[in-house]
Amino acid sequence: GQNIDQPTEMTATEGAIVQINCTYQTSGFNGLFWYQQHAGEAPTFLSYNVLDGLEEKGRFSSFLSRSKGYSYLLLKELQMKDSASYLCAVRGRASGGSYIPTFGRGTSLIVHP
């Protein structure tokens, strides 16, 4: 099976930097995704990592260490609109043999002025 852990809630100040961690256990690792989900809306894709290292995309960066089963999402220059839930998803081998993402419960980020 697969297990994904991320903090339930984090708070940060506008303009600051925040790091959201995700640890996972999976069989047949085949990629890690980060999604952003605003309240009442569908998740939107932020980043994808399959090799170790840092992927940077504007204010958002995502890091992966496969040997440690660890990833983080780094948000810089926080804005109020960044208040949302951030979902970590790991793709591993499902019981049927296909590779399917499993989602963590999400980290609710609250950005205050």
Partner 1 sequence: SQTIHQWPATLVQPVGSPLSLECTVEGTSNPNLYWYRQAAGRGLQLLFYSVGIGQISSEVPQNLSASRPQDRQFILSSKKLLLSDSGFYLCAWSDKRGGTDTQYFGPGTRLTVL
Q: Which residues bind partner 1 (CB under 8 A)?
A: 31, 33, 40-45, 48, 50, 87, 89, 91, 94-96, 98-106
For the chain, the straight-line distance linking the first and the last C-alpha, in angstroms and rounded, comes to 41
Smallest gap from residue 59 Cβ to partner 1 (A)? 20
DSSP 82: G
Burial class (CB in 10 A: 0-12, 13-18, 19+), 54: exposed
Output phi, psi for 81, to 5 deg. -70, -10
Smallest gap from residue 52 Cβ to partner 1 (A)? 16
Nearer to partner 1, 69 or 78 (CB): 69
Smallest gap from residue 45 Cβ to partner 1 (A)? 6
